[in-house]
Structure 1
Amino acid sequence: MRETRRLLNASKIPFKVTFKKTKENENPLLPPLQLYRAIMRAHRRLPFDQRSLGDMYVKAEFRAHKNIDNPLQIIGFLSSWQKYLQMVLQNTDQDWKKYHIPDNMLEKMSDDQIIQLHELMKGTKSLYDEDAEETNKL
């Protein structure tokens, strides 16, 4: 540290540190409890079926990751849920129907994550199929 200061003082060029603004600097990670509450508040804007499914899923995921000690997993978990929160806040009902998971994201997923995603897809499809049957009966 002292050598660095000495070298900086000896140089004739003034040294100035500047930080570029990036998306991470603009949107720092929220603490887990604040993020959880913000997601639950954002779910209030969703239709009842989507809200109940989303609330159950968020609760289960946050409980499952409650005792994780690995900082990389914690940062990945929080940043993914923060992206989800931004998506919920920005999208309308029609935007959700257009959303697709990018192929590069699927390639990064483990087999367990793909199975979990498939189970979630089956659950949501069955939920909407039941709703469609009920409206057709009326």
Structure 2
Amino acid sequence: MRASIPRLLRQRRPERAAEPLLPPLKLYRAILRAHVHKLPKELRYLGDEYVKAEFKAHKSTDNPLYIVGFLTQWQDYLRSIDGGSWHEGKLTQGELEKMSPEQVGQLYELMQETQRLGQESQE
């Protein structure tokens, strides 16, 4: 029997259970708005393009468990942008070990691009 999205949402971690997940389109728009108001101009383009690519790539996903995980992680990201805690964001070893090789590759490419942008802005 397939798990329903509402049931999966109720089974989320207790600290997240109090806050309902935003629908995908509303979450997507909220993230882009947060980028406008909270990110430095030189990082905004990179952040916007990454968010657009990720939401587009996962648009046709129909696995409810994967959808809940995807939306939960992006909602956590939105919370960190809104709260200003994205400056000190660091991955733990456990989080890194949970990532697939493709995700680690994406993270490495993101790191290289942000370093390149940082060097360009200092020139």
TM-score for both structures, normalised by structure 1:
0.75
TM-score by length of 2: 0.84
Q: In the TM superposition, what are the counterparts of 1:1-138 in structure 2 within 5 Å?
A: 22-45=14-37, 46-91=39-84, 96=87, 98-133=88-123
Note the residue ranges of structure 1 that are not aligned, 5 or more in a row. 1-21, 134-138
Q: Alpha-carbon deviation of 1:100?
A: 1.1
Higher-Rg structure is 1
Gaps of 5+ in 2: 1-13
Shift of residue 25, structure 1, vs aligned partner: 2.8
Contact 2:42 2:121 in 1 (8 A): no
Measure, in 1, the Cα distance between the counterparts of 2:32 and 2:103.
23
Which deviations, in whole Å up to 9, do the C-alpha atoms of 1:101-123 show, x marking residues without a partner? Answer: 11110010011110010000001
User: SS at the partner of 2:110?
Assistant: helix
Greater relative contact order (CA < 8 Å, ≥ 6 in sequence): 2
Q: Which aligned runs of 4 or more in structure 1 are off by greater than 3 angstroms? A: none
- Cα distance in 2 for partners of 1:125, 1:24 equals 32
User: Is the partner of 2:90 in helix, strand or coil?
Assistant: coil
Q: Which residue matches 1:15?
A: none
TM-superposed CA distance for 1:26, in Å, is 1.7
Q: 3-state SS of the aligned residue for 1:24?
A: helix
CA–CA distance in structure 2, aligned partners of residues 112 and 25 of structure 1 = 29
Secondary structure of the 1:30 match is: coil
